[in-house]
Chain A
Amino acid sequence: MRMEEIPSFLISNGKKEGATDIAVKFEENDETMIRFSNNEITVTKNWREKEVEIFVIAEKGRAETRTGILSTQNLRELIKRLVNTARTSPPAEVYAPLPTGPFEYDYSRLEPSKGAVPPERLIGYVKKAIDSAREAGAEKVAGSLTFSIYKISVQTSGGVYAKEQGTNLEVSVRAFSSELASGHSVSIAREEEGFDPALAGRQAGEIADKALNPMEGQPGRYDVLLGPLVFADLISQLGERASAFLIDAGQSFLADKIGSQIASKELTLHDDPILKGSYGLRIFDDEGVPTRRNTIVEKGKLKTYLHNSTTAKKSGVETTGNAGLLVPTPWNLVIEPGNKKIEDILSTIDRGIYITNSWYLRYQDYSKGDFSTIPRDGMFLIRNGELTNPVRNLRISDNILRIFRNTARISRERQWIKWWEVETPTLTPHALVTDLNLSKSTI
């Protein structure tokens, strides 16, 4: 069976077995990743994979599968098993038929891909990232560079058919000027034109260079300037925890807060998967519904949760085009820029700290939003509006909603962030958060 015939085959067979709703997502990837550390490449990896995900509703019970075994026999047996599984399962709390198409998609947002980038050129990008970081003061540089060509199609029993293809490039660079002084930056883009590994390397190297000879940080409450990497980590929490599934599960600090002022008026956050040329571009969701720009937070007020058709029906609203067939998710987060330059915001801080990156964010309680996360890479004291000594060994220990409410300034400059710690591409400014609690180890 030819690949393009698989979705119709599955839908046809699924209906024969008794399914009322079937969605088939077909993905094809050719991805290359180059990992490097200590200024050298440590491994180069490639994946070529074709995979199908099938979601079935039968007698209001639901089942799903993921397989790369695409033989006719396996798919025939699989769809039979899946329909039986769905039928055996108790009815879901809410039965929402898959949305009925056909829909119109704005394919004009998908620029024609220029195709594969040869390995030699990818190696060249790695070299640029390493060299730029070293020229900026780093002694050793680590990271990873990924290039992928992807095709995704969604076909459903609701008469929906959508497909898109594209490329993605990303580099994550961590530079060290000493064992205890490091900086990190990233560059992500859909095409080579917007991809700048040299800039990412230079930014990481410059932070590492400034971070040399750090002194012990002192715990306390500070006005804190958060760089894009750390602010993206927090904002991606806001995007991800807006999922209606997580609200329902008791795993979100946003429950019962639609219409509430959850952040300062400085903060406006969109999920914008139709932003042309952006890394997280996606013109349809996993139900085949055309995606759209959703404003999650407008001037600090929570406007919407993210929905698929099932969570939307339960809440009595329309889908927001964020399916995940089970868990709605954001695609491409965009924070509205502020009107101040970073240096102007910095100049307003008399006594504070600048944090450039963090990792390992864990909650004490999702519904309250108490959490901590640990800065890594350059962290600096701010005195009288200027960066002074580098510091280390502090931890952000606070409440995430309190941080958003205390977000006093957003910078005009923004940077796309996606890396190991931040999965959703996020266009992120610098942010000034007042009265942020920083703790540290006691012995």
Chain B
Amino acid sequence: MEEILKAALDETLAHGAIYAEIRFQSDVSESVLMKNGISEVTDYSQIRGISVRALVRNSLGFSATNLCTKRAACKAARKAITIAHAASRLTSPGVSMDNTEINQARFEVKPEIPSRDIDLTSKIELLSEGYKAARDSAEQKGVKLSGCVLRINLLETEKIIINSDGGEIHSSIPRIALSTFLSVSEARRGTTQRFLHLGETSGWEAEEKWNLPLLLSEETYTLAGTLLEARKSPSEKMDIVLGPEVVGLVCHESCGHPSEADRILGREAAQAGETYLKPDSAGRRIGSPLVSVVDDPTIPHSFGFYLYDEEGVKSRKRFLMRKGVIEEFLHNRETATIFEVKSNGSSRAAAYGYEPIIRMANTFLEPGDYSREELIEDVKKGVYIKNFMEWNIDDRRYHQRYVGLEAYKIKDGVLGERVRNPVLEITTEGFWSSVDAVGDDLQFQAAYCGKGDPMQGIPVWTGGPHIRLRGVRIGGTLL
């Protein structure tokens, strides 16, 4: 394969590219899907191919083929050059790659238990046990499990990337992901629903840690409690304690996405949108001094794990917001040149056929030193929102809405009755400025983050500890 990639690189340079990058990527996945306790289908897919990215006369061309031959790769190289040339009349001078250190490296994550060693029957049985545990749990609470969709996805990704600046990265990564959808119903109370996603860079050993039957039993029991017991949410200004699942999402949406340098430059304006941050926003205060949001691709076993990005730049932890102040944007080599900084290794592609663009990896709020109990005990009147179902944010990443799922009233420092769907509709600065205490219990959730055109879903973790917001308005239920 290296020989084919080298030939494509030579072809690209021979036809006038001033920078070129050739990537082979193979994603082999097995996915088992179960709906309402019945095995729907097992999917085994082989997605592999070669892509070429070339810079010609200030114009970037990208070409991909899933025919992994020297001839096809060289043809793709020429195509990237041709289309970049054609577009060069509508580009402007100055497009270049920064001079950050480009690496030759190899990284590999070896699973303790390779997922391919687990037979299909065991995987199906696991989902079946999970379903039965959820169903029994629902029955125990006197409700019906009216919908249950479980999918376990096992992925092996191999990459070889070479570029004209001497970079050469070989990597091999296994991933495991579990997505669950639960819906419980009761004749008088209607339905309540929940999505839950887990994912790691590891083999089957992650599943053993998750303990799916116990997880689904507990989640369903809690969901049924929400359905049966939750009362109308208060609608007034009060204190709020948020769980790690909500905090991680807020970090991702209102701090991670806005910090993507390509978005700041308007590159996503017609798709994933823009941002409230400007090229000169570093140093701007967004939140209280207690909040620091980081993105760190190097966390072992994390869903967004990588050590070198698609441009051969070494990855590292980035402080997007430190003590409430915007500090660093996420860069690839092209945007780093424009911003006159060094790339911090944020260039990622979802599969061989996708252009590498700036992505988050594992975005989270740095933990503080409060226990969850301490956060709650200092609230006279408030709401604790543990997790969510509905959410969204405007395309400038400033106005967001999170609708709680499992949530409770807090009175005089004690958790009280469940409340139904408390709505937090708030600006980014309003949110981060209201944080007055940060918990010590950092937790992560897995997600596939969408961006780019065509849309690329890339594995990430979102995370954070419990936090407390003072004096924010909780809205009522809908309608």
Contact = CB atoms under 8 A, between A and B. Distances in A.
A92 B478 contact: no
A68 B421 CA distance: 45
A172 B392 contact: no
A37 B265 contact: yes
A67 B44 CA distance: 9
B86 A395 contact: no
Interface stretch (B31-39, B106-114, B201-209, B307-315): B31-39
A311 B46 CA distance: 27
Nearest to A32: B83
Interface in A24-70: 32-38, 40-51, 61-69
A162 interface: no
A219 to B, nearest CB: 9
Interface stretch (B4-12, B63-71, B340-348, B440-448): B63-71
B454 A441 contact: no
B270 interface: yes
B430 A81 contact: no
Nearest to B34: A90
Contacts of B191: 250, 365, 367-368
Contact of A364 (B42, B68, B390, B472): B390
B40 interface: yes
Interface stretch (B74-82, B297-305, B359-367): B74-82
A363 interface: yes
Given A68-B48, A68-B66, A420-B453, A173 B401 contact: no
A88 interface: yes
A143 B90 CA distance: 14
Contacts of A376: 273, 394-395
B427 A443 contact: yes
Interface in A353-380: 359-368, 370-374, 376
Contacts of B90: 36, 40-41, 123, 126-127, 130
Contacts of A120: 86
B181 A251 contact: yes
B46 A65 contact: yes
B193 A395 contact: no
Contacts of A68: 46-49, 66-67
B181 A48 contact: no
Contacts of B124: 89-90
Contacts of A399: 478-479
A89 B39 contact: yes
A43 B61 contact: yes
A64 B41 contact: yes
B79 A249 contact: no
A45 B62 contact: yes
Contacts of B389: 363-365
Interface string A383-421: 000000000010101110010000000000000000010
B304 to A, nearest CB: 21
Contact of A63 (B42, B267, B427, B475): B42
Nearest to A442: B473
Contact of B393 (A74, A184, A360): A360
A374 B399 contact: yes
Looking at chain A's contact residues, is the secondary structure mostly helix, strand, loop, or mixed?
strand
Contact of A123 (B46, B87, B455): B87
A142 interface: yes
Contacts of A50: 66-67
Contact of B392 (A85, A143, A250, A373): A373
A122 B89 CA distance: 12
Contacts of A51: 66
B434 A443 contact: yes
A277 interface: no
Contact of B390 (A184, A245, A372, A440): A372
Given A40-B92, A374-B395, A46 B270 contact: no
A44 B91 CA distance: 11
B270 A174 contact: yes
A422 interface: no
A61 B38 CA distance: 11
B62 A46 contact: yes
A13 interface: no
Nearest to B450: A420
Interface string A68-98: 1100001000100110011011101100000
A231 interface: no
Contact of A374 (B66, B84, B394, B423): B394
A380 to B, nearest CB: 17
Nearest to B184: A250
B425 A395 contact: yes
B41 A119 contact: no
B291 interface: no
A340 B273 CA distance: 34
Contacts of A213: none
Contacts of A33: 453-454
B41 A420 contact: no
B13 interface: no
A250 B134 CA distance: 15
A174 to B, nearest CB: 4
Nearest to A186: B270
| Interface-central residue, B42, B89, B400, by most chain A CB under 10 Å | B42
A179 to B, nearest CB: 8
Interface of A: 32-38, 40-51, 61-69, 74, 78, 81-82, 85-86, 88-90, 92-93, 119-120, 122-123, 126-127, 130, 140, 142-144, 172-174, 176, 184, 245, 248-251, 326, 359-368, 370-374, 376, 393, 395, 397-399, 402, 420, 437, 439-443
29 contacts: A33-B453, A33-B454, A40-B92, A42-B60, A43-B355, A44-B60, A46-B79, A49-B49, A50-B66, A63-B41, A66-B43, A69-B66, A176-B269, A249-B149, A250-B147, A359-B273, A364-B389, A365-B192, A367-B191, A368-B191, A376-B273, A393-B399, A395-B394, A397-B401, A398-B478, A441-B427, A442-B425, A443-B434, A443-B472
